[in-house]
Amino acid sequence: MIWHEQQVLLVRQGRPGHPRWMLPGGGVDPGESLTVALARELGEELNCAQVAVAEPCALVESIAPESHASGRHLIHVVFRVDVPAPEKIATGREPSVEDQAIQEIRWVARDAVLKLPLHPPIGGYLKGYQPGGDFQYFGSLWAP
């Protein structure tokens, strides 16, 4: 999570007509720690070379039902991240973004996160997030 002036930074991915908004981040490459992977992913997605990754704040599992063809089981570890000069993070779809799956980058107000198709569906958590709060484990919050 990257916050600035009561807004959280979200990225939009997905197929046309089926947008998915999510926190910036991504997968872990072989040999990477979670924090190294997060710093790399933020560099790729936001062109943000310097980040300060704090301790994890939440964990969400996305477990596909047995009937779903993907068979996916994703684990989302949510970290609070501070970036230098967050107001300078370019919003909109930037051609310099290395991650071509990203279609848009946007600062979103707390109340507005509940109106977006957020994956995993943690809009209520984001709306009420306060620094220094207890670690949250959400279990499985599958959203196709």
pLDDT of residue 56: 93
| Mean pLDDT, the chain, integer | 84
Rounded Cα distance, 24 and 105, in Å: 9
Helices (H) and strands (E) in the chain, counts: 2, 7
Question: Quick check: is 68 in a domain?
Answer: no
Domain total for the chain? Answer: 1
pLDDT of residue 7: 92
Q: Which of these ranges, 50-54, 94-98, 136-140, has the smallest mean pLDDT?
A: 94-98
Q: Tell me the CB-side half-sphere exposure of residue 15, using CA atoms within 13 A.
A: 2
Question: Quick check: is 22 in a domain?
Answer: yes
Question: Quick check: is 111 in a domain?
Answer: yes
Rounded Cα distance, 28 and 41, in Å: 9
The boundaries of the domain holding residue 102 are 3-55+79-126
Residue 12's CATH number? 3.90.79.10
